[in-house]
Structure 1
Amino acid sequence: MRRSFNKIWIPVLLVIVGITLTSVAVGGVTRQIYEQLNFNETITGNFVENTQPLDASITDINIYADATNSINIVFDDSQTPSLKTVGESTDLVVRTSGESLTIKTSESLCNGNILSCNNPRFDTIALVLPTSMKGSIRIEALVQNVSIDAKSIQTLDRVVVKTLNTAVKVNNIEGSLKFDTLNLTLDAQNVAGNIDINGADVNATIVGNKNKLAINSNTLNMSANVSSMGDLTLDTDGLNVNVIAIVQEKSGYSVRMTGLSSSYSNLIGSNSNSRLFGDIRDHFTTSEGNQNISISMDGLNQSLTLTH
């Protein structure tokens, strides 16, 4: 879909100018806050392990967590639905309302003091859920690692992950997936549905199954490897975006790139193109393949490699 009136890099350039001027006055404070939030060390402490059963009828999960090492969610009918936490249990709040489960590590973010966020109180939040759950998962946390895994294809209405600096692994999940993360490393395997990515610095590996996969991204910097066995739609908007798209043999494809600097390499059709300003377009139509690929890229500096 052409978005000539909605290019992220135009307003972003204006924002960068404003930020540069403003940073002279507030740079010291901003740096202090970021360093407090951007922890990279493995979290340790005098933590208590706690396990409690979960109602199998739960359809919606909401997790709000301070600085935490890992949030792990597994769909597995061979295990009893449960919540396991390793941390300071006095800060843990677990509420069930109807078919909705809410988990909080404190009643307010960092106990109301953002500069104390580097004092973690939880190492692990782990849930085992039944495959009958088809609802939503929402995670808002200062967390280093997030994992959502199913032994076979699990269909969910919606998954939302809002974090700061996080490695996310998703396996065998279909549905609407949204990631709002400043720094994101995404490893999504055997997925389908809609994936929305918003972030400043993104590294993504996305492998789709035989069902339709649509990926939309709005980022500053993104490097992505994308492949799918089914139909694939990829729509990117960003300052610096590099994509390698792996498609099935004899697949039909359509490519459009619009930006200040665009580079295109088609290893399937043995052609390449580079352009300053303007559009790059390429397409191939076939009735023999079982996959259709549509790629649209808007950005300041972008590259696309199409290969088998």
Structure 2
Amino acid sequence: MQRSARHGLRLRRHRHRRLRRRHRQRARLPDRLRTLRALVCRPASGGREPASEARRWQPRPGRRLQGLGRKRSRVSDAIHAIRAAAGLFRLARRGLICVEGGDRVRWLDGMLSNDVASLEPGPDRSGCPALLLTRTGRIQADPQVVTLGDDFWLELDGDAVSATLATLDQFIIADDVSLRDCSAGVERLALEGPMAPRIVDELAGRALGLARDAAIHAELAGVDCVVGAWGVSAMEARQLFVPSGSGEHVIRALLEVGAPWGLVEADPDSLEILRIEAGVPRLGAELDEEVLPPEARLERALSFDKG
């Protein structure tokens, strides 16, 4: 009994000590908060009282709207210049898949929606738009297919490269086909506007004579590049595949050659506006695995009589 009483007394003393310690901590808390507020709100120059919290964090009226107005004006000026001449864009978010192997033509023709087997290297029929569809016919990827000889290039959105590689790799059973992500080996540029073909031809030193969707090798400013004839603005366009490390050199040469024609370097916002105005759908924006090709008016990417 005595032992139990002593144990209960120790528990009560311990509980009282904890309560007293908690009360002291709570009593010191307002002092700590006042100290922290004084440190945070201390004015930069001595002698001035800190502004109240409401006044200190109140945003300046009209500041955000003024910034948006300047950006809108800059984009609008760029779009007018592109429609009159041409615009140069850096396509950092585009990806590239290389398809190689002896069975690449037959295998890729069976995987994509367009007639890939009919493509031939050259300026006439070396490329076409295509779609990678799900089992129910929905859109999984929208690559631009190009053949340059010993391989095929699938040019598509950079965010879709990994998923597209994983999907295609599942269907390589006993085929002589290999897939590689070649995005890191090239820098992507695009010229959109009515003067785009003339500027590229001027830099190449010859008339490339590209048909729609075709692509060929061409030397631009001493750099071996691939030039393609497709775009997203419903205007004349040229796509450039430049070896990594040579992009800035080619850009400077393009701007120098294109200056008399009115070439301007524009940002991706301008290209996105032109794409939307032209009604060209984009994967991740209007296209996903819930959309059927006819719903997006992508009949050009389909072939109903191949095989």
- Indicate the structure whose relative CO is greater, using CA pairs within 8 Å and at least 6 residues apart: 2
Higher strand share: 1
> In which range does the TM-score fall when normalised by the shorter chain?
under 0.3
| TM-score where L is the length of structure 2 | 0.21
